Amino acid sequence: MDIFRIEGPVRLSGTVRINGSKNASLPIMAATILAAGKSIIKAVPHLSDISVCSELLGQLGCKLNREPNGDLCIDTTVVDNPVGDYEIVRKMRASICILGPLLARCGRAEVSMPGGCAIGYRPVNLHLKGLQELGAQIHLKNGYIVVEAPNGLKGREIFMGGPFGSTVLGTANVLMAATLARGRTVIESAACEPEITDLANCLNKMGARVSGIGSPRLVIEGVKQLRPVEYQVIPDRIEAGTFMVAAAITKSELRLRNCRLNDMMAVVDKLRNVGVTVEPEDTGCVIAGISPIKPADITTQPYPGFPTDLQAQFMALLALAEGNSIIIEKVFPDRFMHVAELSRMAADLRKEGSAVIIAGVKKLIAAPVMASDLRASAALVLAGLAAEGTTTINRVYHIDRGYEKIEERLDPVGAKITRESD
Ligand code: EPU
């Protein structure tokens, strides 16, 4: 297992290009199952989660390869094993998003029920409710969800809201299944995340008839078949937000290329509130940090609210604010694995239920810390850039799930991060 050694504090300067979105790529890769033939997906990042998804599609019968130009070619001519194996699903929960497309294409699917997760309890009841309302029969067998619709799916009105609002991958699953259902499906309380918009745009390019894209009411007129697609995924707004915090926490100036500020209004608003300058440019923006930063009050919410996937990174930033901040987690109320690790670096944090009160400190101090989940680990990297001394982060494979060679991306702009094999 690799570890990171991070020397801090550093000042960063220069340009970082944002990669394609992991969370847009995964459901779009699954969507290729819906149409037999060769699809080409562009800007898919080189991440371990993408490798896991590729392995999963390979087990279904698909053939995948990376072209020399980086395009991901997925040949779905054969899908003869509609099974999402436990060994793969346990590595990546997002594997669940093959359920809807497999059901629509094969009339049947078996996918391992996702188990525990470092960011808290993550049920899939809404995915199953939606598919059931489209006419699927569902039962559990030896830890596997078995969905069947031998006579096809039938469109109808489905309410997809849950206790924590909409569900991103639940919406993706039902949306994908509905494209090939008979008649009209309406998904009410659909997730509005840019990754769902990207999926819907890709599906329409495949011949689907989805309207209401970007709104909480998706209307899908079922079609008989879809065709393979050539499609480019959107830039990763969470990677962009993480690099924005890297600039802010080190009081530096960074230029981000290939970054869509329109997908990040809640994040940009918070950065400006704490005193960080965010200047839009044609294909990105320039971020300039200042010292000291002001405290803030953040509540995570489904899009267009502040994203839970940037909660940990902003906690690292607010740990250095002048005054008290509060972060309330309303999407995954237990997503606080980073609190104990940031505290080891001298952050002054107090967890109260699904909230954390952050008393700003003058400096963070390097320490050996443990990566626990993807975004919590990113927060530790950010804290390490600002902390005095050498921070070591164990289990960096968590970071590799969602950030492509983060140490090599930050090296040219002045970070001092070395990767070592444990
Ligand atoms: N929920 C239910 N029932 C369901 C599904 C979800 O109650 O059937 C609840 C969840 O427990 C949670 C809330 O609804 O409280 C939202 O969960 P959602 O289903 O939207 O999460 P997800 O689709 O499983 C995606 C991202 C996550 C991101 C969340 C929220 C992908 C591959 N994953 O997960 O990304 O945090 O949406 O925005 O798109 C990450 O990239 O680090 C990551 C965890």
pLDDT in tens, 312-353: 999 999 999 999 999 999 999 999 999 999 999 999 999 999
Cβ(308) to ligand 1 under 6 A?
yes
- Find the 206 Cα to ligand 1 centroid distance in Å: 25
- Find the 167 Cα to ligand 1 centroid distance in Å: 6
Cβ(332) to ligand 1 under 6 A?
yes
3-class secondary structure per residue, 351-409: EECCEEEEECCCCCECCEEECCCHHHHHHHHHHHHHCEEEEEEECCHHHHCCCCCHHHH
3-state helix, strand, coil in the chain (%, to 5): 35, 30, 35
Q: Report the catalytic residues.
A: 117
Query: With contact defined as beta carbons under 8 Å apart, do 382 and 246 qualify?
Result: yes
**Ligand 1 atom at shortest distance from the alpha carbon of 172:** 23
End-to-end CA distance of the chain: 5
Residue 374 structure tokens:
């993807």
**Ligand 1 atom at shortest distance from the alpha carbon of 163:** 7
How far is it, in rounded angstroms, from Cα 336 to Cα 371? 12
Superfamily classification of domain 22-222: Enolpyruvate transferase domain (3.65.10.10)
Residue nearest to atom 27 of ligand 1 (CA): 309
Q: In a structure prediction context, what are the per-residue pLDDT tens digits for the chain, which is 422 residues long?
A: 899 999 999 999 999 999 999 999 999 999 999 999 999 999 999 999 999 999 999 999 999 999 999 999 999 999 999 999 999 999 999 999 999 999 999 999 999 998 777 888 889 999 999 999 999 999 999 999 999 999 999 999 999 999 999 999 999 999 999 999 999 999 999 999 999 999 999 999 999 999 999 999 999 999 999 999 999 999 999 999 999 999 999 999 999 999 999 999 999 999 999 999 999 999 999 999 988 999 999 999 999 999 999 999 999 999 999 999 999 999 999 999 999 999 999 999 999 999 999 999 999 999 999 988 999 999 999 999 999 999 999 999 999 999 999 999 999 999 999 999 87
Cβ(197) to ligand 1 under 6 A?
no
Query: With contact defined as beta carbons under 8 Å apart, do 320 and 293 qualify?
Result: yes
Instruction: For 268-294, give one letter per residue: b (16+ CB within 10 A) or e.
Output: bebbeebbbebeeeeebbebbbeeebe
Cβ(401) to ligand 1 under 6 A?
no
Residue 417 structure tokens:
């991060």
Residue whose token pair is 């003869």: 80
Cβ(304) to ligand 1 under 6 A?
no
| Helical segments of 39-167, H only | 48-60, 86-89, 99-106, 125-133
How far is it, in rounded angstroms, from Cα 307 to Cα 301? 6
Determine how many CB atoms are found less than 10 A away from the CB of residue 248. Answer: 28
Residue nearest to atom 6 of ligand 1 (CA): 167
Instruction: Enter the pTM of the model.
Output: 0.98
Could you tell me which of 29, 85, 11, 70 has the C-alpha nearest to residue 404? 70
Same fold, 2-19+235-421 and 22-222: yes
Residue nearest to atom 24 of ligand 1 (CA): 169
pLDDT in tens, 286-295: 999 988 999 9
How far is it, in rounded angstroms, from Cα 28 to Cα 202? 7
Give 196's Cβ-side CA count (13 Å radius): 28
Residue nearest to atom 36 of ligand 1 (CA): 309
Cβ(331) to ligand 1 under 6 A?
yes
Query: Which residue ranges make up each domain of the chain?
Result: 2-19+235-421, 22-222
Superfamily classification of domain 2-19+235-421: Enolpyruvate transferase domain (3.65.10.10)
pLDDT in tens, 175-184: 999 999 999 9
pLDDT in tens, 5-23: 999 999 999 999 999 999 9
